[in-house]
A and B are shown apart, each in its own frame.
Chain A
């Protein structure tokens, strides 16, 4: 079976996010007031072949641990859906 995987990699709480801070500071110049807690992360989408959803999730978790995220500074959140990515 094919599964669509979406991995969101984000900086852990407390890790400086100067990109987020800079974007947050730029928004009021465009008239967007009251924006706070802006954080910039990464989203990776891909398709994996696995016997079931649990296996697909285990595969994605292993990828996050070994490559997709650096656990010192980043957290990863995984979403799985049946079906190939279009």
Chain B
């Protein structure tokens, strides 16, 4: 059965086509039906039929007020919240991560980068937990070189939240060379149920030799490998790449 990925598009999102293309490259058609991604406009109130959702990067609602602050009120977010509560994999990349924290689906917040610089570079990121849909097909401890492209990527949370993230193996990705001041070098985290993951780096932009990097493929493969609807355990279809 074809794995269906919903890519939520807010006014101002700008990485949705990168995600669709990455799903096509990594998931392509195979004997098991492969994977396909479909854009989901933010005004939609249903996300039925998808195996996983991706909230892509960009500037949802112009990042007005705060990044993600207005996107959380988009009609689609109620459906995304229900999908997540039902255990469906939800991955927020960059601005999508900011939306998930504002929506309360992930703890903490993303503050302005230390040093007041917009970062547009490639950074080494270590896979710290493979117990999430994003990292299920990656190797624990692997260092991936992934693009970052953000101004508000400096993750912050209170001490109790940080302690919980550390104790519960919920720090999914860490920078090995912290580019933005993020607390405990955090590049990505997951929720308590482990099905909602947010990360600042862009794996979808590192899936094609043509653009100089393919380290993101293992993460995209993870997203495709988790059959929420079909009940396929995480990582079992990693051969799809």
Contacts and interface: CB of A to CB of B under 8 A. Distances in A.
Interface residues of A, number: 13
A70 B104 CA distance: 11
A70 B157 contact: no
Interface in A1-40: 11, 15-19, 21-22
Q: Could you tell me the dominant secondary structure of chain B's interface residues? A: loop
Interface in B48-82: 65-66, 69, 73
A72 B109 contact: yes
Contact of B66 (A18, A22, A70): A70
Given A16-B181, A67-B69, A21 B108 contact: no
Contacts, number: 35
Nearest to A69: B66
Interface in B106-134: 108-109, 111-116
B158 interface: yes
A19 B116 contact: yes
Contacts of A19: 112, 116
Contacts of A72: 101, 108-109, 156-158
B41 to A, nearest CB: 22
Interface string B168-188: 000000000000010000000
Contacts of B112: 16-19
Interface string A49-86: 00000000000000000011010110000000000000
A72 to B, nearest CB: 4
B111 A16 contact: yes
Interface of B: 65-66, 69, 73, 101-102, 108-109, 111-116, 154, 156-158, 181
